[in-house]
Amino acid sequence: MEITLQVNGRPRTVDVDPRMSLLDLLRERLGLIGAKKGCDHGQCGACTVLIDGRRALSCLALGVAVDGSEVTTVEGLADGDELHPLQAAFIEHDAFQCGYCTPGQLCSAAGMLGEPGPSAVTEDLLVDPGLTPEEIRERMSGNLCRCGAYVNIVTAISEVAR
């Protein structure tokens, strides 16, 4: 099937097998290897991208399902040579070790910053809790880091959220 989508701000038209995941489409057809194939079951978050501004696990999304959508990968977060504030904060706060999960962490954090409303740890559902470290940990809980860089990831995201 032929699909058309915006990837990192560029229109792309691609022939895809209807069974191909968005992750495989990005990596194999478009050469965007930032999103990682971690578990390929939607459990680790290494493949997180933004679809129309919302966080999504690209290993679980079919390529044909994003026809007409705007997809942002980690490669699209920066503005030319200028890093996205989250990318700069991850570097400044040493929020990665091996780096395998980092693209998914960055895309998830970028999406999370624009998500309003309470989470499972919000005490008062009528009051915006802001992005406290507890809120960030809860909202980022779908992105795993085998190296355990969570403390620095939360610190980096907190800095950008402020």
By the 8 A CB rule, do 153 and 105 touch?
Answer: yes
- Distance CA(20)–CA(9), nearest Å, equals 22
CATH H-level, domain 2-76: superfamily: Beta-grasp domain (3.10.20.30)
Distance CA 30, CA 44 (A): 23
Say what the pTM is. Answer: 0.94
In this structure, CATH architecture of domain 85-161: Orthogonal Bundle (1.10)
- Span 57-70, pLDDT tens digits: 999 999 999 999 99
pLDDT digits (tens, 9 = 90+) for 85-128: 999 999 999 999 999 999 999 999 999 998 888 888 888 888 87
The residues spanned by each domain of the chain are 2-76, 85-161
Closest alpha carbon to 67 in 129, 133, 13, 31: 13
Going edge to edge, which strands form the sheet with 54-57? 10-15, 2-7, 70-72, 48-51, 54-57
